[in-house]
Structure 1
Amino acid sequence: MAPWILGDRFDTVYPHKGSIKALWETKWKFCCEKSIYPFHDGSFEDFEPIFQQLIAENINDGWTDAYTEKFLPTVTALEKEAAEALSSGHRDRASDLYRRAAVVLRISRFPYVSPATQGTSSMKRAALERQKQVYMKAAALWKPHISEEVIAHTHSAGRDDSHIPLYVRIPEEASAQHPVPVVLLMTGLDGYRPDNSQRTHEIVNRGWATVICEIPGTADSPADPADPQSPDRLWSSVLDYMASRPEFDMSRVAAWGLSAGGFYAIRAACTHRDRLVGSVAHGPGSHHFLSAEWLSHANDHEYPFMLTPALAEKYGYADTADFEKNAQKKFSLIETGVMDQPNCRLLLLNGVDDGVVPIEDCLVLFNHGGHKEGRFFENRMHMGYPDSLPVAYKWLEDVLSPNKTALKN
Structure 2
Amino acid sequence: MSFSDPRIAPSRTLEELREDTIRRIKGNGYPGRGIRLADAEVAMAELSSLDPDDWAKVWMAAGDGVIAEAERVASPDAQRELYKTAFSTYTMGRFPTPTTPGKQTSYGKAIEAYMRYAELLPQKLEVVRIPFEGKEIIGYFRKPEGAGPFPLMVQCGGLDYWKEQVADEALNYLPHGICVMGLDMPGTGQAPIKGDVGAERMFTTVFDWAQTRPDIDGTRMFMRGVSWGGHWATRVAIAEKDRLLGAINHGGAVHHFFQPEWQLKALGTREYLMDLFGARANVFGVKTLDEFLEYGPRMSLLIDDQIDLPTAPMLVMNGAKDSQVPIADQLLLLQRGDAKEAWINPKGVHMGFGAGWGPERTIKDIIVPWLLKKLAQHKDSQAG
TM-score, normalised to structure 2's length?
0.87
Aligned twin of 2:13 = 19
CA RMSD of aligned residues (A): 2.5
SS at match of 1:142: coil
Q: Amino acid of the residue matched to residue 70 of structure 2?
A: A
Provide the aligned length of Structure 1 versus Structure 2: 365
How much does 1:17 deviate?
Answer: 6.4
Question: Counterpart amino acid of 1:215?
Answer: M
Distance 1:47 1:395 in 2: 38
SS, match of residue 189 in structure 2: coil
Structure-to-structure mapping, 1:354-369, within 5 angstroms: 354-369=322-337
Q: Which moved more, 1:301-310 or 1:262-271?
A: 301-310
Aligned residues of 2:97 and 2:188 also touching (Cα < 8 A): yes
1:395 to 348, 367, 370: 370
Shift of 1:337: 2.7
Q: Does 1:164 align with 2:137?
A: yes
Q: How far did 1:257 drift?
A: 0.4
Counterpart in 1 of 2:71? 83
**In 2 relative to 1, CA 195–45 (structure 1 residues): closer, same or farther, beyond 3 Å?**
farther
Are 1:108 and 2:81 matched, yes or no?
Answer: no
- With over 3 angstroms needed to count, the CA separation of the structure-2 counterparts of 1:234 and 1:403, relative to structure 1, is closer
Alignment of 1:2-41 (within 5 A): 18-19=12-13, 21-22=15-16, 25=19, 28-29=21-22, 31-41=24-34
Q: Separation in 2 of the partners of 1:51 and 1:272? A: 46
Moved more, 296-305 or 213-222: 296-305
Give the CA deviation at 1:34: 4.7
What are the within-5 Å matches in structure 2 for residues 181-330 of structure 1? 181-225=151-195, 227-231=196-200, 233-301=201-269, 302-328=271-297, 330=298
Tell me, yes or no, if the aligned pair for 1:256 and 1:281 is still in contact at 8 Å: yes
- Structure 1 contact 295–308 (Cα < 8 Å) conserved: no
* CA displacement at 1:296 relative to structure 2: 1.5
- Residue 147 (structure 1) aligns with: 126
Partner of 1:50: 43
Aligned to 1:98: 83
Partners of 1:134 and 1:21 in 2: CA distance: 29
Change (3 A) 1:147 1:357: same
Superposed CA deviations along residues 277-330 of structure 1, whole A, max 9, x for unmatched, are 1111111111111111111122222222232332222123243202203421x1
Say which structure is richer in helix.
Answer: 2
Task: Note the C-alpha offset of 1:29.
Answer: 4.3
- SS of equivalent to 2:303: coil
**Alignment TM-score, normalising by the size of structure 1:** 0.82
- 2:293 and 2:157 map into 1 onto residues whose CA distance is 23
**Hey, what's the Cα distance between the residues in 1 that align with 2:335 and 2:249?**
17
Which has the higher mean CA deviation after the structures are superposed, 334-343 or 68-77?
334-343
User: Does the CA contact (< 8 Å) of 1:131 and 1:194 recur in 2?
Assistant: no
Between the two proteins, what is the percent identity of the paired residues? 27
* Unpaired stretches in structure 2, ≥5 consecutive residues: 1-7, 380-384
Change (3 A) 1:271 1:319: same
1-structure distance, mates of 2:98, 2:245: 31
1:18-67 CA-partner distances (Å, limit 9, x unpaired) = 335445655x545434535323344334323323443xx4x446xx1111
* CA deviation profile, 1:188-239 (whole Å, cap 9, x unmatched): 11121222354121011222111011111111111243x41122x2111101
How big is the shift at 1:372? 1.7
CA offset digits 1:148-198 (Å, max 9, x no partner) = 111112xx3xxxx4311111111122x1xx311111111111121222354
Per-residue deviation at 1:343?
Answer: 0.8
